[in-house]
Amino acid sequence: MPADPPSNPFPPDYALARGRFLKEAEAAGADLSAYLHPLRGARGEELAIDVAVLRPSAARAALIVASATHGVEGFAGSGIQLDLLLGRRRWLGELPVALVLVHAHNPHGFSFVRRTDEDNVDLNRNGIEFGAGLPENPEYDELHPLLLPDDWEGPAHAAARARLAQLAAERGQRRLTAAIAGGQWRHRDGLFYGGAGPSFARRSIAKLCRHELAGFERLALLDLHTGLGPRGQGELIHAGPAGSPQQRRLAAWLGAEPTSSDDGSSVSTPVRGTLDQVYRRGLLERPERPTDGFAAVVLEFGTEPLAEVLEALIGDNWLHARGEPHSELGQRLKARLKAALFGSDAAWQGAVLERSRQVAARLAAGLAAG
């Protein structure tokens, strides 16, 4: 009999998440590989992007499920991956589709309870072509001092919040959010920083595309995220250009459900340098060179209201740029960040697992159909 999914697959920390993932993947007979991070984790543990491949002998298609692109979001993503792994025979059945689990794109952020990596890089803004020059974001440049005040519980923070509220009223909250979250490449100590070059994760993904994903003709990437949308609901967001063959392929598999930040139908604002672009370039370096054969979708689970999520992100960024992470204030800000991106209640967790199983099953069926 296939193993039942665990009663609570969600981990308390990165080290336990990785240990359980590797144990269950090995027991399932997966081919395992690891891209070791050069740094150690919050408890001195080894950090790695771990890849587990479960491939039926006839499989020419693969469903890639990735977690912790934004490190702290791995508390949800890792649990979803474990649930899908242990319950795979129930939702995947005998379909000739490989399951590729990429555990923790950003292990450093997962371990240290940060959204960004060790260089404060947002991996979902790191996929730009750096040789073509860095994009400009003048609106963010204007907002940067307000997003990184001199203090957190003093007059500078209060003044910054008041000014941001005034700008939101004048310009509209959506425009302000787009300026903040769209990505910026100038302020290393700022929010949504895209980096000065390819990150550890980006370099590792390029390698796994050539190795672990070799031989597959059709691939779908399901990237797991939290923090946007109504609490407990999972929005499917097409990751790629609007009107592309990949978007049409997703529509064939998932109907009209996937939204797009490009046309304003998504809760997400338009973003440059997303990680799906890294996968696309990496796959094009293989002999198979799939183009229409690859599609990517984000599954974004809502947690708290957007204003609270953004304030938690601002607080954590301030903490690592100006504060002391091990202080009492630091611990409060860390707890606030995790609560903003992970639901600890059974209702949220149950909804997240059920939705993920449904989406994974639909993507696998689409891949099998060709």
Instruction: pLDDT band for 290, please (50, 70, 90 cuts).
Output: low
Task: Report the pLDDT averaged over residues 258-264.
Answer: 77
Residue type, 80: I
179-235 pLDDT, tens digit each? 999 999 999 999 999 999 999 999 999 999 999 999 999 999 999 999 999 999 999
SS (H, E, C) 243-256: CCHHHHHHHHHHCC
Residue type, 258: P
Q: Name the CATH superfamily for 14-131+199-303+342-369.
A: Zn peptidases (3.40.630.10)
Instruction: Indicate whether 263 pLDDT > 80.
Output: no
Cβ(183)–Cβ(122) below 8 Å = yes
pLDDT at 116: 98
Q: What is the pTM of this model?
A: 0.96
266-285 pLDDT, tens digit each? 778 888 999 999 999 999 88
Count of Cβ atoms closer than 10 Å to residue 361 Cβ? 17
CA pair distance 303, 233, nearest whole angstrom = 8
pLDDT at 292: 64
Instruction: Indicate whether 2 pLDDT > 70.
Output: no
Instruction: pLDDT band for 77, please (50, 70, 90 cuts).
Output: very high
Cβ(340)–Cβ(309) below 8 Å = yes
CA pair distance 345, 116, nearest whole angstrom = 25
Going from N- to C-terminal start, the domains of the chain cover 14-131+199-303+342-369, 138-181+308-336
DSSP element (H, E) containing 34: strand 31-40
Instruction: pLDDT band for 1, please (50, 70, 90 cuts).
Output: very low
Instruction: Indicate whether 160 pLDDT > 70.
Output: yes
Comparison of pLDDT for 248 and 290, the residue scoring more: 248
C-alpha closest to that of 69 among 6, 124, 143: 124
What's the whole-number average pLDDT of the chain? Answer: 94
pLDDT at 291: 57
Instruction: Indicate whether 124 pLDDT > 80.
Output: yes
Task: Report the pLDDT averaged over residues 29-38.
Answer: 98
CA pair distance 95, 76, nearest whole angstrom = 26
**Phi and psi angles of residue 66, each rounded to the nearest 5 degrees, phi first:** -120, 145
C-alpha closest to that of 322 among 199, 156, 192: 156
pLDDT at 4: 47
Cβ(91)–Cβ(357) below 8 Å = yes
CA pair distance 31, 54, nearest whole angstrom = 7
